[in-house]
Structure 1
Amino acid sequence: MRVIALLSALCAAALVQADFHTAQIYVQPVENSESPSLLAEVAYDPSISGSSSIISYEAPEIPESTQLVRVGLYDTKSSRWISGTTVASVDNFGKGFSPNLVLSVDEKGELLSAALKGVRIDAGQTRDFGPQAIVLPVLKGKQPELNKPIVLSAEGKKVEEEEKSPLQKYWWLIAIVVFMAVTGGGGGEK
């Protein structure tokens, strides 16, 4: 019984330690010189990839002549974009699409950029038609596997390696055979 109480206390402490960040995502029509408007406010925990939620979302009022919008983090005090921005079609906000906000975060949990992706809604498959937020942490890519380095001489020409003799290649095999021959004698005669 005490073990269950201890485990539940540890789980509760882990939930309290969750480090949630908030981000305000802005949208701006590309063709117009209007100032960006707040699209959504997102809460996320950078250590857990599936722990994002949208606090508030307001569908943008976009003029009908607009085809493209810019999405990202915007600082209203300095009136400049403070992250990488993405350009998306206004069709992502259209009927039959659910806007998904994709947030890229670094190792420290700081937001690098925000993107918008419209996901087609199939009423028979899902009940969640609202906007979603997805957190993508930056991961280190696979490193290339390199061959043996090329050795160059002082003149800059490739140095050819000497071919090893069979004795240099297989000395260890010869040593094992000699050891077995010396130590593996026959049984003594009585």
Structure 2
Amino acid sequence: MYDSADIGGGLGVLRAGIVSAQYMSAFNVPASAISPVIVLRHDGIVLATQQDFWHRYKIGEKNKVTHPWTGAPLTRSPALLGAGDGLPAGLEAHALDKQLARGVIVLACALAFQDAADQEIDVVVAADDGGVEPDQRTILALGEAKVNETLTVARVRRLERARALGASCAGHQAAADRQQHRPRAAQARRPSFRCGDRGS
């Protein structure tokens, strides 16, 4: 198992392929005899996203990602580098997409991905709505009281989840978010939250 809790130049992903190839060579066994598992979690979750995501939200620039071999600043996902991207010959075969195509198991943390959506996808609602600012009544209906605050898509989603759970005031937002991530069995017994109730 190869645990990638941070971006780390994508070396956690590459290492899985490199070591697997070494095992196959040393023990003279086919790829089907090796079962590597790559785990993408915490800050490393962005390695699970496609190249368009990195370009659109400037993941490389925000996280000061560097090339795994040259150390140069990198705007692309280091887990998706290919031939001609500065890797030693042959290492492009261990890029994440290539390993997935070979059947390598890749596990990605859903909670970390949600956090990435809330933190990295920091785009204004208007950007995805043709440049039209969200209706102020809609913002207030979702529970946002700061009239001049620009809402992000992630913030609107959280407010929508809160409203769906009956949390109509900002004081219950955290409780509503915690409820969203509870196991399915626990969600079935979730209480509703009303303004004026004391948080648990």
Name the TM-score class by shorter chain: under 0.3
Larger Rg: 1
Higher helix residue share: 2
User: Relative contact order (C-alpha < 8 Å, sep 6+): which is higher?
Assistant: 2
Task: Give the structure-2-normalised TM-score.
Answer: 0.21
Structure 1 or 2: more strand by fraction: 1
